[in-house]
Structure 1
Amino acid sequence: MRFQEVSPDRTLLVDLAYDESLLAELEAAVTQADLESAWMLGSGAVRELELTVYDQDAFAADAVAFDEPLEMPVFTGTVTTGPEIAVQGVFSRPSGQAVAGRIESATVYGGEALLWGFEESLDRDRDDATGLDRLDL
């Protein structure tokens, strides 16, 4: 385990615009508010989605696309220096089937996000044990 104390700086409430890219909306909010690092939490719905699911044995991510409306009960992620945005989410189909993974692209139907900005900078470094880019704490 590693940890770092962070000091909350600002909190943003973001209304995600219809038919826009989820990641572009989040990046625009981060850029306009001049946030260097943050934690985020949000919910809503998307019209289409591409996720990647990480294969822990192969150290590689496989993409899965969904060209259908999906509920987005929760997404969460980080903003690190750059800004670089990493977002994971859980989505549900009308049948109740859930899908989850790292969000590569998504078209917003509607939603909101809460971003907690930190005074400290956060960076990511490659972790040899997992093959993931993990927070450098």
Structure 2
Amino acid sequence: MDYREVSGDREFVARLGHGADWRAEIESLADDEGIDAAWFVGMGAVQDADVWFYDQDDQEYHEVSFDEPMEVAACVGNVSLLDGERFAHTHVVLSRESGQALAGHLDAATVFAGELYVRTFDEPLVREHDEPTDLDLWL
């Protein structure tokens, strides 16, 4: 296990823009406020979503698209630097009208309504290639 202590004292609450892209809104906040490392949680609703699942055997993402309104029952993730750009690594649990839950790595989603809490870290988080998983993980 790799770990380190982090500190930070900047906190934000945000309302995501109706019709905007959920993940892009988080990255826009990070760009506007110069946030290179943070943890966030959110909730709300989306009009559609592209969710990725990482196949550990093939070591590649598979995308599933949903063109329907869904509740964002939970959203959790972090902001870090990936190839010099701010990246919002975002996971969600989405709920259909029936109550069926869908979950995974959120690539994109059109915001119907969204609320976000962000806590920053003073130390940057930088993603680099991890050979065993073929993923870009924190240093």
Where do 4+ consecutive residues of structure 1 move more than 3 Å?
none
Structure 1 alignment gaps of length 5 or more: none
The correspondence for 1:127, drawn from 120, 125, 130, is: 130
Q: 1:3-46 deviations in whole A, cap 9, x for unaligned? A: 11111130110111111111221111111111111111111110
- Amino acid across the alignment from 2:48: E
Aligned residues: CA RMSD? 1.0
1:78 aligns with 2:78: yes
Q: 1:28-84 deviations in whole A, cap 9, x for unaligned? A: 111111111111111111001001111111101100000000110111111112212
Residue 29 of structure 2: SS of its match in structure 1?
helix
How far apart, in 2, do the equivalents of 1:91 and 1:101 lie?
A: 9
- Amino acid across the alignment from 1:88: H
How far apart, in 1, do the equivalents of 2:130 and 2:124 lie?
A: 19
Which residue pairs with 2:8 in the alignment?
8
Which residue pairs with 2:57 in the alignment?
57
How far apart, in 2, do the equivalents of 1:129 and 1:31 lie?
A: 31
How far apart, in 2, do the equivalents of 1:84 and 1:20 lie?
A: 17
Q: So what's the TM-score if we normalise by structure 1?
A: 0.94
Structure 2 alignment gaps of length 5 or more: none
> Which runs of structure 2 are paired with 1:1-137 in the superposition (5 Å)?
1-81=1-81, 82-136=85-139
How far apart, in 2, do the equivalents of 1:45 and 1:12 lie?
A: 20
